[in-house]
Amino acid sequence: MPPSPVFNEFVLKFANVNGSGSASANLLCAKALFRMGLPVAPKNIFPSNIQGMPTWYEIRVSEAGHLARRDGVDVMVAMNPQTYDEDVASLVPGGTLIYDDTWPRDFGRDDINVIGIPLAKMSAEKYADPRQRQLFKNVIYLGALARLISIDVQVIHDLIGEQFKGKPKLIEPNLAALALGWDYADTNVTNPPAVQARTADGNAGKIMIQGNEAAALGALYAGATVASWYPITPSTSLAEAFEKHALKFRRDPDGKLRAAIIQAEDELAAVGMAVGANWNGARSFTATSGPGISLMSEFIGLAYFAEIPLVIFDIQRGGPSTGMPTRTQQSDVLACAYASHGDTRHVLLFPADPGECFTLSADAFDLADRLQTPVFVMSDLDIGMNDWVVDALTWDDARQPDRGKVLDEEALEAVSDFGRYRDVDGDGIPYRTIPGVHAEKGAYFTRGTSHTDTGGYTEDGTVHAANLARIARKFKTVTAMVPKPVINTTGATSRIGVINYGSTDPAVREAIAKLAANGHMINHMRIRAFPFGDEVREFADRHDHLFVVEQNRDGQMRHLLIAEADIEAEKLVQVTNYDGMPLTAAFVEDAVTGVLEGGWQVTAAE
**Interactions with another protein, residue window 437-476 (CB under 8 A):** 437-440, 443-449, 452, 456-460
Beta strands 486-488 and 284-288: pairing type? Answer: unpaired
- Rounded Cα–Cα distance for residues 500 and 527 (Å): 6
Rule CB under 8 A: choose which of 298, 427, 535, 564 binds another protein.
298
Q: How many residues bind another protein (CB under 8 A)?
A: 78
- Rounded Cα–Cα distance for residues 532 and 348 (Å): 10
Residues 359-378 within binding reach of another protein (CB under 8 A): none
Based on its alpha-carbon atoms, the radius of gyration of the chain, rounded to whole angstroms, reads 27
Task: Provide the 3-class DSSP secondary structure of residue 190.
Answer: coil
User: Nearest approach, Cβ of 300 to another protein (angstroms)?
Assistant: 10
Task: Provide the 3-class DSSP secondary structure of residue 63.
Answer: coil
Per the CB < 8 A criterion, the answer to whether 53 and 47 are in contact is yes
Among 415, 421, 334, 436, smallest CA distance to 378 is for: 334
Rule CB under 8 A: choose which of 249, 322, 492, 493 binds another protein.
249
User: Nearest approach, Cβ of 67 to another protein (angstroms)?
Assistant: 16
52-60, 87-95, 245-253, 571-579 -> range binding another protein (CB under 8 A): 245-253
Rule CB under 8 A: choose which of 10, 299, 539, 578 binds another protein.
299
Task: Provide the 3-class DSSP secondary structure of residue 539.
Answer: helix
Is the omega angle on the peptide bond into residue 401 within 30 degrees of 0, that is, cis? no
The sheet that has 523-526: what strands, in order across it? Answer: 486-488, 523-526, 496-500, 545-550, 572-576
36-44, 64-72, 261-269, 523-531 -> range binding another protein (CB under 8 A): 261-269
**Strand positions, DSSP E, 63-149:** 73-78, 91-100, 113-117
133-141, 220-228, 311-319, 504-512 -> range binding another protein (CB under 8 A): 220-228
- What one-letter code names the amino acid at 328? T
Q: Does 269 bind another protein (CB under 8 A)?
A: yes
User: Nearest approach, Cβ of 228 to another protein (angstroms)?
Assistant: 7
Residues 34-93 within binding reach of another protein (CB under 8 A): 34-35
Residues 475-494 within binding reach of another protein (CB under 8 A): none
Nearer to another protein, 156 or 277 (CB): 277
Rule CB under 8 A: choose which of 12, 274, 311, 471 binds another protein.
274
Nearer to another protein, 21 or 223 (CB): 223
User: Nearest approach, Cβ of 275 to another protein (angstroms)?
Assistant: 6
User: Nearest approach, Cβ of 434 to another protein (angstroms)?
Assistant: 6
Identify the sign of the CA torsion 422, 423, 428, 432: negative
Q: Does 395 bind another protein (CB under 8 A)?
A: yes
Nearer to another protein, 54 or 223 (CB): 223
Rule CB under 8 A: choose which of 103, 435, 490, 538 binds another protein.
435
Rule CB under 8 A: choose which of 284, 288, 359, 576 binds another protein.
284
Q: End-to-end distance of the chain based on CA atoms, in angstroms?
A: 45
Rule CB under 8 A: choose which of 145, 220, 512, 592 binds another protein.
220
Nearer to another protein, 67 or 588 (CB): 67
- Rounded Cα–Cα distance for residues 15 and 18 (Å): 9
- Rounded Cα–Cα distance for residues 358 and 349 (Å): 12
- Rounded Cα–Cα distance for residues 26 and 24 (Å): 5
Q: Does 223 bind another protein (CB under 8 A)?
A: yes
Nearer to another protein, 275 or 335 (CB): 275
Nearer to another protein, 152 or 535 (CB): 152
Identify the sign of the CA torsion 492, 494, 495, 496: negative
Rule CB under 8 A: choose which of 95, 202, 211, 272 binds another protein.
272
- Rounded Cα–Cα distance for residues 475 and 477 (Å): 5
C-alpha distances in Å from residue 463, one per residue of 111, 283, 469: 75, 30, 10
- Number of Cβ within 10 Å of residue 244's Cβ equals 15
Task: Provide the 3-class DSSP secondary structure of residue 164.
Answer: coil
Nearer to another protein, 93 or 461 (CB): 461
Rule CB under 8 A: choose which of 51, 165, 256, 541 binds another protein.
256
- Number of Cβ within 10 Å of residue 582's Cβ equals 25
Residues 195-214 within binding reach of another protein (CB under 8 A): 206-209
User: Nearest approach, Cβ of 459 to another protein (angstroms)?
Assistant: 6
Q: Where are the alpha helices (DSSP H) in 77-129?
A: 84-89, 119-126
- Number of Cβ within 10 Å of residue 557's Cβ equals 27
Nearer to another protein, 252 or 541 (CB): 252
User: Nearest approach, Cβ of 446 to another protein (angstroms)?
Assistant: 4
Per the CB < 8 A criterion, the answer to whether 360 and 218 are in contact is yes
User: Nearest approach, Cβ of 296 to another protein (angstroms)?
Assistant: 11
- Rounded Cα–Cα distance for residues 453 and 462 (Å): 12
Nearer to another protein, 309 or 582 (CB): 309
Task: Provide the 3-class DSSP secondary structure of residue 287.
Answer: strand
User: Nearest approach, Cβ of 467 to another protein (angstroms)?
Assistant: 13
Per the CB < 8 A criterion, the answer to whether 182 and 160 are in contact is no
Nearer to another protein, 111 or 396 (CB): 396
Q: Does 278 bind another protein (CB under 8 A)?
A: yes
Angle between helices 354-371 and 461-478 (to 10 degrees): 140
Q: Does 404 bind another protein (CB under 8 A)?
A: no
Nearer to another protein, 421 or 539 (CB): 421
Q: Does 237 bind another protein (CB under 8 A)?
A: no
Task: Provide the 3-class DSSP secondary structure of residue 237.
Answer: helix
Rule CB under 8 A: choose which of 43, 60, 137, 250 binds another protein.
250
Nearer to another protein, 360 or 573 (CB): 360
Cβ within 8 Å of residue 475, ≥6 positions away:
345, 347, 428, 531
Rule CB under 8 A: choose which of 115, 238, 302, 482 binds another protein.
302
Q: Does 434 bind another protein (CB under 8 A)?
A: yes
Nearer to another protein, 384 or 497 (CB): 384
Nearer to another protein, 440 or 570 (CB): 440
Q: Does 394 bind another protein (CB under 8 A)?
A: yes
